[in-house]
Amino acid sequence: MNDLTILYYTANQISDYFADNVRQNIVEASEGAPIISVSHKPIDFGHNICAAGLEPATYNIYKQILMGAMLVKTPFIGCAEDDSLYTKEHFSYRPPMTAFGYNTNRWQVSRDVYFFRCRASMCMCIAPTELLVHTLCQRFAKFPRFLNREEAVGWGEPGRKEKQLGLPSVGLITFETTTPLLTFNHRQSTGGVRRTLDRDILKEELPPWGPVKDVWAKVHG
């Protein structure tokens, strides 16, 4: 994967055990792609940028993404978050240069159940590097000060929220890998624990990952 860099970002809120398991998964799934990590505390993972002093917040997640993206030398970026598991198939996908690509085959993992709701999520984004940098630079130029949780309602994935923010629209496409990807539903995430909805699809076992209780114990601990 010489045309893609993994951009990993974390607020360092999760346990070392959980973080190490996720990072090992990213290394295996990315097959030697360069890694840039942006963290609130120094970590030994790829080329690390320590963004000390940031508080865990949606606004700052995108600030971390921009900090890392500005150092990327490859044409594409694969976003990777500290609570998600990935596959080689996912990081092999390339969107057109004019659009953000989001893998919608993502299941969330709670202690007792996998649940699925179809949406574009930043943790599943493959993006052209120049497009990501340009889009976020426009966003921060218009909103240079920190936005709290109530103010940052529209502060979401590129391609979804530009109209709400009064910014130029950008392309968004979705794709689905054969193997589902996973995001853990845990208290330390920026959005907190998400409750299942009536429309969610629920499963106790998900191929090829296996029973949800086993995955939770193995990865989250």
Q: Please name the residue that has the structure tokens 């990590």.
A: 37
pLDDT band of 194, cuts 50, 70, 90: low
pTM (whole model) above 0.85: yes
Listed range (38-42, 58-62, 95-99, 186-190) with the worst mean pLDDT: 186-190
Burial 91-104 (b: 16+ CB within 10 A, else e): bebebeeebbbbbb
Q: What pLDDT score does 12 carry?
A: 94
- Bigger pLDDT: 127 or 150? 127
On the question of pLDDT at 181 being above 90, the answer is: yes
| CATH code for the domain in which residue 101 is found | 3.90.550
On the question of pLDDT at 116 being above 70, the answer is: yes
Please, is 144 exposed, middle or buried when counting C-beta atoms within 10 Å of its C-beta (0-12, 13-18, 19+)?
exposed
Contact between 130 and 138 under an 8 Å Cβ cutoff? The reply is no
Listed range (32-41, 112-121, 148-157, 184-193) with the worst mean pLDDT: 184-193
On the question of pLDDT at 189 being above 60, the answer is: no
On the question of pLDDT at 164 being above 80, the answer is: yes
Q: How many CB atoms lie within 10 A of CB 59?
A: 20
The contacts of residue 185 (CB under 8 Å, 6+ apart) are 108, 109, 110, 115, 193, 194
Q: What pLDDT score does 35 carry?
A: 98
Residue-wise pLDDT for 34-87, tens only, equals: 999 999 999 999 999 999 888 888 889 999 999 999 999 999 999 999 999 999
Q: In the beta sheet, which residues pair with residue 181?
A: 106
Listed range (9-13, 65-69, 176-180, 189-193) with the worst mean pLDDT: 189-193
Segment 191-216 mean pLDDT: 86
Contact between 158 and 170 under an 8 Å Cβ cutoff? The reply is yes
pLDDT band of 221, cuts 50, 70, 90: confident
Q: What pLDDT score does 89 carry?
A: 97
Q: What pLDDT score does 141 carry?
A: 94
Q: In the beta sheet, which residues pair with residue 171?
A: 99
Work out how many domains the chain is built from and give that number.
Answer: 1
Q: Residue 90 belongs to what domain range?
A: 4-220
- Bigger pLDDT: 63 or 200? 63
Question: DSSP 3-state assignment of 108?
Answer: strand
Q: What pLDDT score does 88 carry?
A: 97
